[in-house]
A and B are shown apart, each in its own frame.
Chain A
Amino acid sequence: MKKRVVVTGVGLVTPLGNELEVVWKRLLAGESGITPVEMPGIEMYRSRIAGQCLDFSPLPYVEPKDVKKIERFAQFALVSGIHAVEQSGIDFSREDPFRCASIIGCGVGGLREIERQDEKLASSGPSRISPFTIPKVMLNAASSHLAIRYGIHGPSYGVATACASANNAMIDAYKAIRDGDVDIVLTGGTEAAISKLGLAGFGAMRALSERNDEPEKASRPFDVDRDGFVLGEGAGILVFEELEHAKKRGADILGEFIGYGVTTDALHLTQPDDQGIFAGEAMKAALRSAGISAGEVDYINAHGTATHLGDAAEVEAIKRVFGDSAKNLSVSSTKSSIGHLLGGSGGVEIIFTLLALRDNIVPPTLNLGNPDEGFDLDFTPLTPKEKRINCAISNSFGFGGHNASVAVASFVD
């Protein structure tokens, strides 16, 4: 028999802060976390703005001597994970460690450390390369650091499907509990790729917004004047737990993970199918898997990165899948506020979606003054919208053609 999977704790690190309720309040207030990037030579870059976690410190959660051994993306995951576990009230010393898991998505791993060590290699030669280089840059380090922290001896691994990484990680976490393999999974995603190569690489693809003079207005999903995504960083980590296990502990349940859909474009590595055929199939599969109809979905936290093609394909896909019921649907892209967290995005966005369910309020899409032609959905422009939300979908689509939609619902016993 399939087990039910609920969320009993969440934690995040975002450009709007690192405390859940503070971040949520700022998001609903329409605040932007996008700021100018300061680094040597920044004037040469096409995109010079980002959603940076400027208030983040790994202390006191990571010991000072260990800070330099753990790369920023893994620090984000560790601190978010600690907050999530604290909220869940789980005491891992009382759990069967083989029935606990850690499955964390990350798109690119330790890009900044690769740059630092490459500079060292060029200036001082191979004998001066830090022995911590490889264990720092590997993207699976995020899941391992959480496993070490809590003595988790069940499965732990990293999931890499670019910007869909967190959703794919959560889907694996869901299946592991549903199928009875484990009771608890720390899952979600993390990323810290605001770096020379990150900005230059995505910039070279013309994927990034170049609205450098107006950082707060740069991330404009679905708007006619959108010009690419704003690179962001951060993490969203959740505690997924088997329902009966959570009830036995008397845990507070934030929501239920009810289904998922995964497809692949298999057309082009970076360019989405312009009709969003396969993105749409992922949403359809999520509805089937969750056992719900299109009309039952109240809110979609869109992938909505603000690229020309990506947004258009997602709108097409939503309109096709939801048909007549699309008019009752609220859609928003919270990337308008914090930028695109790549492998961290799905983790943070499912947390926002769960808070939307909890508080019955749809977070807004900032900077959406003029929806593009044919974009006739309710994108919740500029201000949040109060609305009864029982059921929601969060989309993440990644370079590589990866489409992953996940469905959550208010918990009803």
Chain B
Amino acid sequence: MTRAEVEEKVIKIISEQLGREADAITGSSDISNDLGADSLDAAELMIAFEEEFDIDIDEESSQNFTTVDGVVDQIFKQLS
């Protein structure tokens, strides 16, 4: 899977979970500050990413999950 494909899927999941237009979500979007996720939303997103990509994301890696780029980079790294 290419990084662009990962990004597309990540944005789709975030868009659905947080009720945001996909077009309004960019790599630099901050998931809590810009997109309005609270702590439960963030935890739910984590589960959705794990299920979509069939990976386990550990607590330490999830610390990088402030922006969409951070999420995409981490997932892409785990898939490679």
Contact = CB atoms under 8 A, between A and B. Distances in A.
Q: Do A and B bind each other?
A: yes
Contacts of B16: 65
Interface in A98-133: 124, 127-132
B44 A65 contact: no
Contacts of B51: 124, 128
B28 to A, nearest CB: 22
B8 interface: no
B71 to A, nearest CB: 17
Nearest to B39: A131
A135 interface: yes
Contacts of A69: 40
A128 B19 contact: no
Contact of B40 (A65, A124, A135): A135
B17 A132 contact: no
Contact of B44 (A63, A66, A127, A131): A131
A64 interface: yes
Contacts of A128: 47, 50-51
Nearest to A129: B47
Chain A interface residue count: which class? Answer: 10 to 19
B50 A131 contact: no
B43 interface: yes
Between B39, B43, B47, the greatest number of chain A beta carbons within 10 A of the residue's beta carbon is seen for B47
Interface string B33-77: 000000110011001001100001000000000000000000000
B6 interface: no
A131 B19 contact: no
B13 interface: no
A65 B47 contact: no
A322 to B, nearest CB: 52
Nearest to B45: A131
Contact of A64 (B19, B39, B44): B19
Contacts of A127: 47, 50, 56
B18 interface: yes
Nearest to B57: A127
Contacts of A131: 39-40, 43-44, 47
A113 to B, nearest CB: 14
A127 B39 CA distance: 16
A69 B40 CA distance: 10
Nearest to A66: B19
Given A131-B40, A132-B44, A135-B40, A65 B18 contact: yes
Contacts of B50: 127-128
A63 B19 contact: yes
Contacts of A64: 19
A132 B56 contact: no
A128 B47 CA distance: 6
B19 A130 contact: no
A131 B19 CA distance: 17
Nearest to A63: B19
A116 B69 CA distance: 32
B40 A132 contact: yes
Interface string A279-318: 0000000000000000000000000000000000000000
Nearest to B47: A128
A108 B1 CA distance: 45
Interface in A356-381: none
Contacts of B44: 130-132
A183 B16 CA distance: 40
Interface of A: 63-66, 69, 124, 127-132, 135
Given A65-B16, A65-B19, A124-B51, 5 more contacts: A65-B18, A69-B40, A131-B40, A131-B43, A131-B44
26 contacts: A63-B19, A64-B19, A65-B16, A65-B17, A65-B18, A65-B19, A66-B19, A69-B40, A124-B51, A127-B47, A127-B50, A127-B56, A128-B47, A128-B50, A128-B51, A129-B47, A130-B44, A130-B47, A131-B39, A131-B40, A131-B43, A131-B44, A131-B47, A132-B40, A132-B44, A135-B40
Which 3 residue pairs are nearest across A and B when measured between Cβ atoms? A65-B19, A131-B43, A131-B40
Interface of B: 16-19, 39-40, 43-44, 47, 50-51, 56
